[in-house]
Structure 1
Amino acid sequence: MLKQVKQMVSREYAKDLRAQLGSVPRTIDWTRLSPEDLEHELLELNQFVDWLRHTYGLPPQIIPPMWHRHWEMIWELSALRQQWLTCYDQQAKGNMGVVFHAEFAAARERLRDWVTISGSRLDRDRATRITPWPGGEAEGFTPTDSTEYPVENRNEDFVSFVEDQVLERQRAQDAEVQEIVNSEWSERP
């Protein structure tokens, strides 16, 4: 009987520990997310960025309203979010807040660089310019349209961006599935 009680307590402890630990934050590879995961992660990142800019009073020279239109900023802010989740996890060591703030200081400098490169501002935005290399671009390369647009309604634009990205990812996923189906079908006797 004592052995059964110990086993039951051990199982309950393990279950409670898993619930407390939760999932470990991992680096997000934006190129490999399913459409559903892409939508979820963009929405989560948007909440984090909004919290971050309000909590730390960050100016648009560090995080402009249209950050979501620039993948270089999405990657940087996503890495910062994952760092925050890791450092402020309930199982993190006591010094991890200092580690986060050291990383945050470095990330702010990189974000300033990304904002400068992208050309995104508080009141206007344009696609990040990609300088074509003479004789070094893939066939079909099209330079980005660097026309500036006024920032009018950031929230509406964010929702539209997420919808477009999810739809584009869904189309790519559907095309991959169709290619697999076609190749399997053509290999049949």
Structure 2
Amino acid sequence: MSDEPGGDATTNDVPDSDVDQMDDDGYDEPLIAEPPHPINWNLLSAEDAEAEWLELNRWVDWLRHTYGLPASVIPPAWHMHPELLWELSALHLHWLCAYDPDQNGSAPLGWHRDFADARQRLREWVAACGTRLDHDRPTRQTVWPGEEPGDPIEDIPITDRDAEFVEFVMADVQARREAEEAFYRDLDPDTGEVS
């Protein structure tokens, strides 16, 4: 059994050539896993966002436990901070690629080297944004001349991280779903253009 997230059982009793093409009806199209690919969080559909949030959360949880990472590197409310989201998402992709079975044997060493750099960046962003083990606040934004000052920033206690994460993801997915519905509602069926 593997401690790695996404670890699969193997089918040692079936020849490799047969595994790629078997399904319930005998032989059909090849079963090929989707290769790792960069995630642009700004462009995900509601359905894709939900899947990506859950997968990244599972991997981040594995990462923090495996490497004993403190909240100063990965805080409980990492998902509330885009700077942490983008860094962790990129690190996850890098890990997936480094541990791909077709990858060069030294790729995991490259990932660990880059992981050390990423931990330093994560520490800097956690310190700058102010999120901690038991409370969170939005990342402070510098107001440029001519911009309206932002609302006051207050700390919010973190009481049940898992429940708060689920609530956050549900709100994100709902907002994306509403944006998709609005887009398709405004789409002209004849021309395919937004009216």
Is 2:164 aligned against 1:157? yes
Match of 1:56 among 60, 64, 67: 67
CA contact (8 A) 1:64 1:120 kept: yes
The change in CA–CA distance for 1:109 and 1:178 in structure 2 (over 3 A counts) is: same
Question: Could you tell me which residue of structure 1 aligns to residue 183 of structure 2?
Answer: 176
Is 2:91 aligned against 1:80? yes
The change in CA–CA distance for 1:130 and 1:182 in structure 2 (over 3 A counts) is: farther
- Alignment root-mean-square deviation, CA: 2.7
Match of 1:106 among 94, 107, 117: 117
Any stretches of 5+ residues in structure 2 without a counterpart? 1-16, 23-29
Provide the C-alpha distance between the structure 2 equivalents of 1:27 and 1:36, rounded to a whole number of angstroms. Answer: 17
Structure 1 segments of 4+ aligned residues over 4 angstroms from their partners: 11-16, 182-187
How far the C-alpha of 1:150 sits from its partner, in A, is: 1.0
Aligned length, in residue pairs: 172
- Kindly provide the amino acid, as one letter, of the partner of residue 178 in structure 1: R
The change in CA–CA distance for 1:133 and 1:48 in structure 2 (over 3 A counts) is: same
How far the C-alpha of 1:130 sits from its partner, in A, is: 1.2
Report sequence identity in percent.
44
Return the TM-score normalized by structure 1. 0.82
Question: Could you tell me which residue of structure 2 aligns to residue 43 of structure 1?
Answer: 54
Is 2:156 aligned against 1:143? no
- Kindly provide the amino acid, as one letter, of the partner of residue 98 in structure 1: L
Provide the C-alpha distance between the structure 2 equivalents of 1:58 and 1:121, rounded to a whole number of angstroms. Answer: 13
Provide the C-alpha distance between the structure 1 equivalents of 2:165 and 2:38, rounded to a whole number of angstroms. Answer: 22
Provide the C-alpha distance between the structure 1 equivalents of 2:160 and 2:118, rounded to a whole number of angstroms. Answer: 26
The change in CA–CA distance for 1:90 and 1:132 in structure 2 (over 3 A counts) is: same
CA contact (8 A) 2:80 2:138 kept: yes
- Bigger proportion of residues as helix: 1
Is 2:134 aligned against 1:127? no
How far the C-alpha of 1:143 sits from its partner, in A, is: 2.4
Return the TM-score normalized by structure 2. 0.79
- Kindly provide the amino acid, as one letter, of the partner of residue 93 in structure 2: Q
Provide the C-alpha distance between the structure 1 equivalents of 2:55 and 2:176, rounded to a whole number of angstroms. Answer: 18
Provide the C-alpha distance between the structure 2 equivalents of 1:14 and 1:50, rounded to a whole number of angstroms. Answer: 31
- Kindly provide the amino acid, as one letter, of the partner of residue 188 in structure 2: V
CA contact (8 A) 1:53 1:59 kept: yes
How far the C-alpha of 1:179 sits from its partner, in A, is: 2.1
Report SS of the residue matched to 1:24: coil
CA contact (8 A) 2:136 2:158 kept: yes
